[in-house]
Structure formats: structure tokens, C-alpha cells
Structure 1
Amino acid sequence: MIMYLLMMLTAAVVSYAATWGARALGNGLRLYRPIRSRDMHSELISKLGGLGIFAGFLVALVVSSNSFFVKDIFAHNDAPWGILAGAVVIVAVGVTDDILDIRWWIKLFGQSAAALIVAVWGVRMSVIPFIPEPVVIESELVRIVLTAGLIVTTMNAVNFIDGLDGLAAGVAAIGGVAFFLTAYWVHRNNPQTDNSDLATLLMAILVGSCIGFLLHNWFPAKIFMGDSGAMLIGLLMASAGIVATGQIGSGLYDRANGIPTIIPILLPFAVLSLPLLDFGLAVIRRTARGQSPWSADRGHLHHKLVDLGHSHRASVVMLYVWTSILAFGGVAFAVFPWQLVLTLDLAAAFIMAVVTAWPYFTKKSSRPPSEV
């Protein structure tokens, strides 16, 4: 645990410092994008914050490869470097979009290229968790396609929710902590001699990088992560989930106090359930209008909360709480009796539903009888 926390701290410090540099670069060169009707800010702000997040990831990964205990992850394993290569590509694509506003199909092509790099040289799905037995994917082509598809979906899900100051970074940090604790617990309670794990390391580094950046991005934000940061977070989260999924065949999750084999693939979806929900609703909404799923609009969950009457900060905090309920409530099924977890999850969800909808009921009760 200590080494993982040190890598998390390393990523946080580097990310915080590098984001300062990205702010100076963006402001000095005036690399701003025009304010759009759907944007929630009123001042020109640079979107180069993804460079700070990437710097935290890069430095922490290199340091990890030469550090006690976690360096064993890199022994005879090219997966971390394949993930890094994909990260380099997606950050380059994201920065280009943040500065030049490239067409959606060009960005999708770049996302696919980065995802394929990870799938070919990094990690790939080899098992689909299923009850009662996991399904082994025999075809390498199918493995690559499924891996790339999952990564692209996750990148866009995180990108879609990046609309309020501190929202995407905070949601990723909360979900990352839930993923990190679960992955660490699994490996800490298994009989293997080597308890080091790439998924746990990726989550530790991701959480640290997001926290370091969040100190600049909290309301009122001094810099945005842009597409480069959001897509990088999605790539790392999906890669960690794929790593965990690949460990099913080893029986690791069966030996760790009887965790069901379906848990690994549910982890990334549990911790990213809010972004994935927003992404799914956006695709349905835009497709129903005859628009491209990647066309922009002002119908995301965070927009709805602000329109409902919540302040900018309150909307972010509420989405933090929802993320915590979904992420920690989801992974808790792997540790505690499902009856207890389900009861607490439903109770927490009900309370938050009331808090979320409270401005609506307040407005409705305050209207004159003729308007109600």
C-alpha cells in the first residue's frame, strides 16, 4: 500500500506543478476557444490542463518502473508502455482539438488509433465475465476490437461529463479511489507471492494526477482539462478495467474471499456509471433529433442540475455524492452481503434523489395557485 500511495503522491505533485506550466503556456500564447452557448463559464480559459494530468501519469509511471515492489509489474511486461503509447496519441489528439476544434470524425479516428495501440501493444480483453463460467475469447481480432471499443466508449463517457469546474476530475478521482481500494484488497488477500498489480498502480497514478489538477480546476477554474485530459482519464480507467478482467482466468478473483467472477468487468462500469449514463442519454437524445452522437448540446446531467436551480458548486458536489454512491455502492457487493449493500444503496439513492429534486418541489410549491 505504501508504494502505491507514494506513486499517487508523485503523480499529484507533478500534475499540480505541470498544470501551472500549462496555465502559463495557454495564457501566454492566448490559446483560448470561443465561449459557446452551452458553456458554463463566462471568461476565456485555457483548455491545456490535460498536459498537467499527462505529466503526472508519465512521471509516476517511469518512477514506478524503477521503484521497489511496483517495479515487478514491469518485469517482462510491455503492457504499461503500450498504455503509455496510447496515452501519448490521445493527448496529442485532444490538445489539437482543444486548440483547433477539429471535426468530430477526425477526433473519433484519433480515439480509435489510440485505443488500437493499447489493444495491440498494451492490454486486451481475453475473458468476458459470465455466470456461471467466464467466456474465453479465442480470436485475437475479436479481443482487439472489443478492447478498442470499450476504450473509445469510456473516453467519450468521461469527455461528455466534463462540463463544470472540477466535475470530471473529481468524478474520476472518486471512482478511481473505489477501483483502487477494491483492486488492492483483492491482491492483498490472495495467496500469490507477488501482490503487485498494474490495475491498482494505474488507479493510484490516475487518482493522484486528478487531485493535483483539481487544485487548479475547482470552481472558479483557472484552467480546464480539455479533451486531452478527459480522454486520457477514460483511456486509463478502461485499461485498468481490462487488466482486472484479464485476471479472471487465473482464478485470482475466485480465491480472494469468493469474489464473483463478474466483479472485475463491472468495476469500471460501476465507478464510471454516471458518465456512462450521461453518455448513453446524450447518444439517444442526439440520434433522436437526427444529429450526430458527437454533436454538442446543452442537455447533459450537469446542465440539467444547474437549470433546475442548483448553483455551480452545489451541482458538482451532488454529482460527487452520486458518483460515490454508485462507485462505492457497486464495489461493496464484492465485499459485503448483497442484502445489506442493496438496502444501504437504495436508502442513499432515495435521500440524494430528494436532495437533487428539492429545487423543483420548492419552485412548484411557491407558485400562485393559478400557476400550479
Structure 2
Amino acid sequence: MLYGIAAAAATLLLSALLTGVLRVPALRLGITDRRRRRPLPLSGGTAVALATVLVAAGADAAGLLPLGAGVGRMAVAAGCVALLGLAADLRRLRWWVTPAGTAVAAAFVVPYEETGVAAGVAAVGWIVVATAAFRALDHADGLAGTVGAVGAFGAAACATAELMDGLAALLGVLAAALAGFLLHNWFPARAGLGAAGALFTGFVLASSAVFVRAGQGIGAGAAVLYALAAIGCADAALVVLGRRLDRRAVTRGRPDHLGHRLRRLGLAPRAVPVLLGAGSAGGALVAVCVHTGRLSPGAAWWVAAAAAVLVLVLVRRPVTPVFRPRQRVASASSQVSERLRVRSG
């Protein structure tokens, strides 16, 4: 217990330090969020991945927090996925590249001896979908970090119930790394997570959930997996449904995610991650209770119903940006002033 607390504290400090130190190199290399009106360095993704892997590997090598062969293999695969995400941050990749790379990494992680071949293939598909859905949450300051940290705590609780101490330790370290990153990512953000950090975090969370439920009931397993990823699934459903209703390409980015639409309802930027983080905490609580037998798998339907209501309420909200760029506002003001000057003259 004491070693776990020390590892989490070290990870939090290391992640916060690396996020700040790597900001300048990220700006110089052009690793920035292209969706922003100002350059936002995506140093958080590298910081979260490095802090998590370094602390977990160091504690495992020292014998303080043994990970085990399966968890160690998952950490290596997650590192490879993070490198793929870093490539996506550096340059635009075709939409299918990151899902394909995630599927290859997941194929080496799923414990087929416990799941069986058919369920293992389904688990690979789930890891790909859940990882992509989590990546899409990186569209608002503080959102992906908050939901990821909450999901890591929920998955760690499930792992602890199964006496998977190595997996619980890795998830605890990940949650601490995300907390350190949030010190720079809370509105107004000074650093972003990017594809590297989002893919790394989503992959670890999805793979951990598969590890925890491997070899157990399919119905309860599906309920646990969904409840842990409820916010990401709701965001993905909202985006797909909204774009199909507007007859737009699903793979073409737009400001139509959960955070964007909640902002259109009038929520403050800092309220969005708090609200969705609370929703993620509710889903994680249901997942833990279902996993430990305190609730029936049917409880996940309540989570699904709440997510469906949220999607249906928001799907017809406007998706235009909340604020116009300052440059355009200033230009419009100067044009009006010029017209008034000409008329008065």
C-alpha cells in the first residue's frame, strides 16, 4: 500500500514536470492541436505515457510493484500505440491507420487462453472501439484527463477485487499521471493530450477491463465494459448520429462532440469536464458494483438509458463554434468604424 502511494505521487510529479518541460520542444516541432485558434503544444500525451511506463517499469524491476507478464506485455503494447499516436500528432494520417495499429497491438494483449478465440476476437474489436472513442474525448480542456483518471480508478477497483495487484498498480499510476497532466490542461489549457496520450490511455483502460473480465460471464462482462466506457460511447454515438442526420461524412471532424454541444447550452468551460467526469464516475461505480456482484448486469441498462437521453437531447444542438475568433471580431469592428468614418466624412 505504501509503495503504491509513493509510486502514484512520483508519477504525478513526473507527469506534471514532463508536460511543462516538453511544451517548448512540442511547439518547435509543430506537435500542436490543429483545431485550436492558438498553438497548443501536445506535450501531455508524451508526458503521461512516459511517466506511466517509467514508474511502472521501475517499480516492477525493483520488485516493489510486480506487474506480471501479461500486464507488462500490455504496457509495451500501449507504448507502441502511443508512438502511433505521436505520428498522428506530427502529421495527418489516413483515418484507418490508428484503428488498424490499435487492433494489431490488441491482438498481442488479449488473453486468448481465458477468453477463447471467438471472445478474444470480439475483445480485440472492443479495445479498438473503446480506444477510438476515448481519443475523441480529447476535444475540450480537462475532459479526456478527467474521464480517463476516473475510468482508471474504476478499473483499478475491479482489478483489486480480482486480486490483480499488478494491473491495479498500473492503473493507479496511470490515474496519477493524468492528474499531473491536468495541472496543465485545466481551462485555459497550456498543454494538450493529443493522439499519443489519448490512444495510450484509452488502450490501457480498454485492455485492463478485458483482462479483469476474461473468463467470466459474458453478460456481466459486457455490462462492466460498457459502464466503464459510457461517456466515450455516448460521445461516439452522438457524433455518428448527428453527422448521419446532417448527411455528412462520419470521419470528417466537426465541433459536434459532447463538450461542444454542452458549451452551446451555456455551460462554462470548466463545468464541462466536471459534469462529464461525474457521469463517468457514476458509470464506473455501476461497473464496480456489477463486477463484485452487488448489482445485477441489468444495472448497466440504466447507464445506457441515461446516455441515450443525453444523446437525444443534444443531437440537434447547433455545432457552430461558441465564440468567433478575436481576429475576425477585430476585423469586423474595424470595418464598421471605417464605414462610419467614411459616411461622416
Shorter-chain-normalised TM-score: which range?
Answer: 0.7 to 0.9
Alpha-carbon distance change, 57 to 323 in structure 1, aligned in 2, over 3 angstroms: same
Report the residue type matching 1:318 in the other structure. L
Correspondence list, 1:328-347, <5 A: 328-334=285-291, 338=295
**How far is 1:102 from its partner?**
1.4
* Alpha-carbon distance in structure 2 between the residues aligned to 1:14 and 1:126: 36
* Alpha-carbon distance in structure 2 between the residues aligned to 1:87 and 1:336: 30
Displaced runs of 4 or more, over 6 A: none
Gaps of at least 5 residues in structure 1 are 36-40, 128-136, 188-194, 249-259, 361-372
Q: For 2:37, what is the secondary structure of its paired residue?
A: coil
Q: 2:224 aligns with which of 267, 270, 277?
A: 267
RMSD after superposition: 3.1
Report the residue type matching 1:222 in the other structure. R
* Alpha-carbon distance in structure 2 between the residues aligned to 1:199 and 1:265: 20
Report the residue type matching 2:6 in the other structure. L
* Alpha-carbon distance in structure 1 between the residues aligned to 2:63 and 2:98: 39
Correspondence list, 1:101-140, <5 A: 101-119=92-110, 123-124=111-112, 126-127=114-115, 137=116, 139=117
Q: 1:98 aligns with which of 89, 101, 104?
A: 89
Identity, % of aligned positions: 22
* Alpha-carbon distance in structure 2 between the residues aligned to 1:101 and 1:11: 30
* Alpha-carbon distance in structure 2 between the residues aligned to 1:69 and 1:264: 30
Residue-by-residue CA offset, 1:107-138 (whole Å, 9 max, x unaligned): 3332223323334xxx45833xxxxxxxxx2x
**How far is 1:162 from its partner?**
1.2
Residue-by-residue CA offset, 1:213-258 (whole Å, 9 max, x unaligned): 111111111111111111111110011111111263xxxxxxxxxx
Name the counterpart of 2:3: 3
Number of aligned positions between the proteins = 307
Report the residue type matching 1:64 in the other structure. A
Q: 2:77 aligns with which of 64, 82, 86?
A: 86
Q: 1:56 aligns with which of 48, 51, 60?
A: 51
Report the residue type matching 1:4 in the other structure. G
Correspondence list, 1:255-294, <5 A: 263=220, 265-287=222-244, 292-294=249-251
* Alpha-carbon distance in structure 1 between the residues aligned to 2:172 and 2:146: 14
Name the counterpart of 1:322: 279
Name the counterpart of 1:180: 156
* Alpha-carbon distance in structure 1 between the residues aligned to 2:136 and 2:239: 8
Name the counterpart of 1:157: 133
Name the counterpart of 1:310: 267
Q: 2:257 aligns with which of 300, 321, 324?
A: 300
1:24 aligns with 2:24: yes
Alpha-carbon distance change, 144 to 8 in structure 1, aligned in 2, over 3 angstroms: same
Q: For 1:304, what is the secondary structure of its paired residue?
A: helix
1:197 aligns with 2:188: no
